[in-house]
Amino acid sequence: MKNIGFIGTGIMGKPMAKNLQDAGGTLHFSQHFEPAPAELLGKQGMACATPAEVAQRCDVIFIMVPDTPQVEDVLFNNDYGLEKGLTAGKTVVDMSSISPMATKRFAARIEKSGAAYLDAPVSGGEVGAKAATLSIMAGGDETVFNRILPLFQCLGKNITLVGGHGAGQTCKVANQIIVALNIEAVSEALLFAAKAGADPARVRQALMGGFASSKILEVHGERMVKGNFDPGFRIALHQKDLNLALEGARELQLNLPNTAMAQQLFNTCAALGGSQWDHSAMIRALEHLSDFSIRDE
C-alpha cells in the first residue's frame, strides 16, 4: 500500500486513520493542523510539519476536518497548504462535510496542479468509523474513484460514486436532512409516549419490530431513553450541515420547512449549552419546550 497522508484526526478521523494503518498503510500526519494522537505514530505513522510536507511525501492525501474554511486552509494556505506539495499523479480526497459549491472550486484549482480530487463525505458516525462500515458518497472522475476504491474499502461498506465534483457533498447534505428529521420524529414520538404515561424504553422496543423501525430509533432512541448524549456526532456539526442545506435551498429557491424546524431545535440545544452534545440530544430541546423529560432526572 502506498504512502498515505491523513489530515484531521478527531472523533471520526482518528479511527479512520487507524483502519488504514491496520490494512497495512503507512500514514503521514500534519502536526501543524492537528497533532496526531501518539498511538497513531510509530512504524506506520509519520509526523510531518505541514500539510505541504504531507503532500510531498504521499501519493494520496485524505482530509477529515470540520468545515469548509478548514478544508480551504489545509489546501491553499499561502504558507503551508497542500497545494504547495502537489504534483501530477497525486490525489486529494476530502472526506469532510462541506459546501458543494466550494468543493467544485477547490477541485478545479487542485486539478490545475495536475493532481486529482475527490469529495467523499461519510455517514455512520463514530461507530461506523471505528467498525469501518461508513457509507461513503463520492464525487469526481470515475477513473480516480476506481483507483482510490481499495482505500475506501478499508473505511466503509456502502461506497458510491454519486457523480462529478460536488455530488458527494450534495449527497451528504441530503443525508443530513434525513438524519435530522428522523431524530426529530423519534424525539417527538418518545416524548408523546412518555407524557401519555407509557414507558419510552418499552415503546421503543415495540416500534423496533414495525414499519417505524430505523437506525435512528435503534441507536439514538436508546441514547434518548438512557440520557447518554456523549458525542458521536456533535450538534454543532449537524448545525453546520443543516446550514449548508438551508443556504443551498435559498440558492435553488426551495422551501425546506422541516429542515428549518430541525435547525431551530438544534439552536435551542445550543442555547441550553449543548452544542457539543450528541445530535440525538435534540430531544432535550423538545423536552425543554414541553417542560417534561422522558427520563427520571
Residues with a catalytic annotation lie at 172
CB 85 within 8 A of CB 56: yes
CB 57 within 8 A of CB 31: no
CB 246 within 8 A of CB 263: yes
Nearest CA to 265 out of 289, 285, 236 is that of 285
Nearest 5°: the CA angle 236, 11, 34 is: 95
Q: Give Cα separations from 294 to 191, 193, 210, 216, 235 (angstroms).
A: 6, 9, 22, 17, 20
Nearest 5°: the CA angle 66, 42, 52 is: 50
CB 46 within 8 A of CB 25: no
CB 145 within 8 A of CB 165: no
C-alpha cell at 42: 510509530
Cα 58 to Cα 76: distance, rounded to the nearest angstrom: 17
Nearest CA to 179 out of 253, 255, 245, 273 is that of 245
